[in-house]
C-alpha cells in the first residue's frame, strides 16, 4: 500500500500541474472578460477561479511535502500536509463566498449604472465551462486518493457550476434585458461554494480530531481479531487517520498462555497484521500482546 500511495502521489502531482495550467489560463480570460462586459457574476467566477488556482497550487505543494520520507521527528512522514492543504483550501472558499455574497447583495440593492454586455460575458463563460470540464477530467482520477485531491476536485467542480450560472445569466440578459440576472448569478455562485467548503472543513476536522474513518466499523475489526486462533480478548482499540486513505490501528490483544509458552507470538502478530491489511486495508497496525494473567490486573480496559 505504501508503494501504491507513492505512485498515486506522483500521478496526483501531474494532474494538479495540468489543472493549474488550465485554470491559470482561463482566469486571465475571465478577468479580461469581466472588465470588457462589466459582469459581476463573471468577476465572481474569476474570483472563485483565483481561489481555486491558489488552492491547486497549495494542493500541489502539499503533495510534494507529503512525499518526503519519515524521520525520527516526523515518524509518520509528512502525509498530513495534505490535510493542512485541504484546510487552507476550505478557508479560501469561505472567504471568496463571503466577498461575492456581499458584492452581489450590494449590486441588487443599488444596481450599477454600467451596462452589462451579455455577448462577451457569454463567450467567456463558455470558454470557462470548457476549460473546467477539461480540468475536472484531469483531476477525476485522483479525487478518491486523498482529502487534498478531493478538495481540488470539488473546487474545479464549483468553477464548472459557476460557469453554467454565468451562461444562464448572460442568456437571460441577452433575451430579456434583465441586467440584475448578473448579480443573482453571482449570489448563486456564492451559494454553491458554501456547502463544498463546509464538506471539506468537516472532513479535515474529522482527520485532525483523530476520529475513526467514516467507512470503518471498529466493532467489526474487533470481532475479526477475536476470531483469530489464540486471541482471548481485545481492548484499548484505537483507529485514526494520518491523512485520507491512510488509517492507523492499535490495540491490546489478550492471548492464551500457550501462545507465549510455545513461542507463537511472532506468528500471531503476522496473522493479526494480515487480517487488518487484507480485510480493512490498514497498513500501519500496532498490537500489544498480553497474557491472560497480565490483562486481569490492568487498571482499566478501554473500548
pLDDT tens digit sequence for 183-200: 888 888 888 778 878 887
Q: What are phi and psi of 262, to 5 degrees?
A: -95, 5
Q: Under a CB-based contact definition with an 8 Å cutoff, are residues 81 and 242 in contact?
A: no
Whether pLDDT at 148 is above 70: no
| C-alpha–C-alpha distance, residues 233 and 293, integer Å | 12
In the chain, count H helices and then E strands: 10, 3
Note whether 237 and 285 are within 8 A (CB). no
CB-side exposure of 274: number of CA atoms within 13 Å? 7
Confidence (pLDDT) at 171? 92
- Span of 73-82, 168-177, 249-258, 282-291 with lowest mean pLDDT: 73-82
Work out the average pLDDT over 202-207.
84
* Of 70-74, 252-256, 285-289, minimum mean pLDDT range: 70-74
CA distance 221 to 234: 10
More confident residue, 19 or 9: 19
238 CB-side CA count, 13 A: 16
Query: For the chain, what is the mean pLDDT?
Result: 79
pLDDT confidence of residue 301:
47
Query: d(Cα 173, Cα 39) in Å, to the nearest integer?
Result: 11
User: The C-alpha cell of 263 is what?
Assistant: 513461542
pTM above 0.75, yes or no: no
d(CA 159, CA 132): 7
User: How far out from the chain centre does Cα 20 lie?
Assistant: 17
User: In the chain, pLDDT over 90 holds for what percent of residues?
Assistant: 2
Is the pLDDT reported for residue 3 higher than 50? Answer: no
Neighbouring residues of 29: CB distance < 8 A, sequence distance ≥ 6 = 124, 127, 128
pLDDT band with cut points at 50, 70 and 90 for residue 114? low
Per the model's pLDDT, the better-predicted residue between 62 and 297 turns out to be 62
Q: How does DSSP assign 165-193, residue by residue? A: HHHHHHHHHHHH--TTHHHHHHHHHHHHH
pLDDT greater than 70 at residue 19: yes
Give the mean model confidence (pLDDT) for residues 244-260: 83
pLDDT at 245 over 70: no
Amino acid at each position: 500500500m505504501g508503494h501504491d500511495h507513492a505512485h498515486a502521489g506522483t500521478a496526483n502531482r501531474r494532474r494538479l500541474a495540468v489543472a493549474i495550467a488550465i485554470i491559470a489560463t482561463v482566469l486571465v480570460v475571465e478577468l479580461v472578460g469581466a472588465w470588457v462586459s462589466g459582469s459581476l457574476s463573471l468577476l465572481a467566477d474569476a474570483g472563485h477561479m483565483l481561489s481555486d488556482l491558489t488552492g491547486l497550487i497549495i494542493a500541489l505543494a502539499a503533495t510534494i511535502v507529503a512525499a518526503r520520507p519519515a524521520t525520527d521527528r516526523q515518524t509518520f512522514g509528512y502525509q498530513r500536509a495534505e490535510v493542512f492543504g485541504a484546510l487552507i483550501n476550505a478557508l479560501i472558499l469561505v472567504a471568496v463566498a463571503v466577498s461575492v455574497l456581499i458584492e452581489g447583495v450590494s449590486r441588487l440593492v443599488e444596481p450599477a449604472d454600467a451596462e452589462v454586455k451579455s455577448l462577451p460575458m457569454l463567450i467567456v463563460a463558455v470558454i470557462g465551462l470548457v476549460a473546467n470540464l477539461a480540468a475536472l477530467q484531469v483531476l477525476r482520477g485522483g479525487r478518491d486518493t486523498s482529502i487534498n485531491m478531493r478538495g481540488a476536485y470539488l473546487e474545479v467542480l464549483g468553477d464548472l457550476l459557476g460557469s453554467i450560472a454565468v451562461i444562464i445569466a448572460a442568456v437571460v440578459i441577452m433575451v430579456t434585458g434583465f441586467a440584475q440576472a448578473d448579480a443573482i448569478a453571482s449570489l448563486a455562485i456564492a451559494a454553491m461554494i458554501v456547502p463544498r467548503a463546509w464538506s471539506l472543513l468537516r472532513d479535515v476536522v474529522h482527520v485532525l480530531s483523530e476520529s475513526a474513518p467514516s467507512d470503518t466499523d471498529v466493532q467489526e475489526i474487533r470481532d475479526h481479531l477475536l476470531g483469530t486462533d489464540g486471541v482471548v480478548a481485545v481492548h484499548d482499540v484505537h483507529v485514526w487517520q494520518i491523512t485520507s486513505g491512510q488509517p492507523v490501528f492499535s490495540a491490546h490483544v489478550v492471548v492464551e498462555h500457550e501462545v507465549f509458552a510455545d513461542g507463537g507470538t511472532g506468528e500471531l502478530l503476522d496473522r493479526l497484521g494480515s487480517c487488518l491489511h487484507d480485510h480493512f486495508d490498514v497498513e500501519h497496525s500496532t498490537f500489544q500482546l498480553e497474557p491472560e494473567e497480565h490483562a486481569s490486573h490492568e487498571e482499566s480496559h478501554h473500548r
